Structures are given as structure tokens and as C-alpha cells.
Amino acid sequence: MVDVSRVQKELTECNRDREVSGVSIALHDGSTISHLTGTIAGPLGTPYEGGTFLIDIRLPGGYPFEPPKMQFITKVWHPNISSQSGAICLDILKDQWSPALTLKTALLSLQALLSAPAPDDPQDAVVAQQVWIWPLLFSSIVFSISPCP
């Protein structure tokens, strides 16, 4: 069963400094505490700067001992994020998760992933190839599809 008091504490902590951190969390359309929506500001100095990215967050019954299930709702052109489904390739959302981590930590890690793509461990092979072979094309595609604030 999800630790409701911990999740409520995490929501409060995350939203307290959202202007500084660039991340926030809310209940997903007024649903239960186990279905949330995260928001990430596009990192400065990247092709994602100025964008606002929504993340679907589902907490399994074993949270915080099991990682949250996260995927991008907002379409993103990035080698570690599926351009079709929004699935994310990030170790802390899988085998490197620890109960010491928080939802805010996970969102900040996603924000960092936007800053530093890892094309050698891709979720989307086509995008990874662009990062390696045609980095300017990759950046121009990101600029053309990234959402405005």
C-alpha cells in the first residue's frame, strides 16, 4: 500500500520551491494520491529551454520501496524518451531506485536527462542516431516540436 503520509509530505516539499527547482507535482485530474502529474521546466541552455513538460506518475502499491512509474505526456524528441509512448530510459526509475529517493528527485533527474542526453543507452534509436550523426538536425527538430510555456 502506498505510504500516503510520505507522498503528501513529498508533494508539499516539491511544490514549496517549484519556482527555483523548475519541477512540481499535482494530483492527476483530482484522482487518488497514487496517480499524479509532474511538471518540468525545460532546462536553461538546452533545446528544451522555455518548454513545459508534463509527466504521468503512477505510484505502485509498494511505493516508496518500488519506483514510481513515469512517462512523458508531452511529446519530446530525446534519445532516452520514446517519441511514441513517452516511456523513459532512466536507471533510477528501474533497478537503481532506492526508498531514499523522492518524486522530486526523480523529476529533477528527468530534467537533468533533458540537459544531458545519453544516446549510448537509448529508448528511441532513431533520435539517438541523430544525436550522434546530425546534432544540429537533432537540435532543430527539438526546437520545432518543444512545447511553449
Residues with active-site annotation:
89
What SS3 class is residue 36?
strand
Q: Where are the beta strands (DSSP E) in the chain?
A: 23-27, 35-41, 52-58, 69-72
DSSP state, residue 42: P
Q: What is the C-alpha separation between 15 and 22, in angstroms, rounded? A: 9
**What are the backbone angles phi and psi of residue 133, rounded to the nearest 5°?**
-90, -40
Cα distances (Å, whole numbers) of residue 28 to 81, 87, 99:
21, 18, 22
